[in-house]
Amino acid sequence: MKRVLISMLAVLVALVCAQNLAAQHKGAGVLSGVVLGPDDKPVPHASVTYQSSAGIAPHAVHADSRGHFTITKLRTDNYDLRASGKGVYSEWEKNVAVRSGQTKSVTLHLIYAKEIPKAYTKSKAKE
């Protein structure tokens, strides 16, 4: 009898803990997207800088090998994002609305550089 009560108590505690964890992450939003270069191809491992639109708490993440990125656990707010890679930058994507329990998708295009790096120029021999 004692073992049954202890087992039931353990299961109850586990369920309460799991419910609390789910409730904590339920209110978070997600930003995901892809970084494209001037040639409209994904930019592997590009850096994505993001902050609230009020300029609070800037952070950065890196895209994966396919140029995709995901930012999780964001509070409901508006965010500004900018990407960079291989010496090229995107414009700021401003006021991207992130809402609780939703995933917002964005595409960041790298377009600004003093001069376009050779990694993005097509050689005339290939044309």
CA atoms within 13 A on the CB side of 70: 8
In-domain check, residue 13: no
In-domain check, residue 67: yes
Amino acid type, 75: R
Q: What is the pLDDT of residues 35-71, one digit of tens each?
A: 999 889 999 999 999 999 888 889 999 999 999 999 9
In-domain check, residue 4: no
In-domain check, residue 20: no
In-domain check, residue 101: yes
**Residue 87 φ/ψ, nearest 5 degrees:** 80, 10
In-domain check, residue 126: no
Distance (Å) of CA 27 to CA 21, 55, 76, 109: 11, 22, 8, 29
Q: Which domain holds residue 85?
A: 28-118
**Count of the separate structural domains present in the chain:** 1
In-domain check, residue 124: no
Amino acid type, 80: D
pTM for the whole structure: 0.69
The CATH code of the domain that includes 70 is: 2.60.40.1120
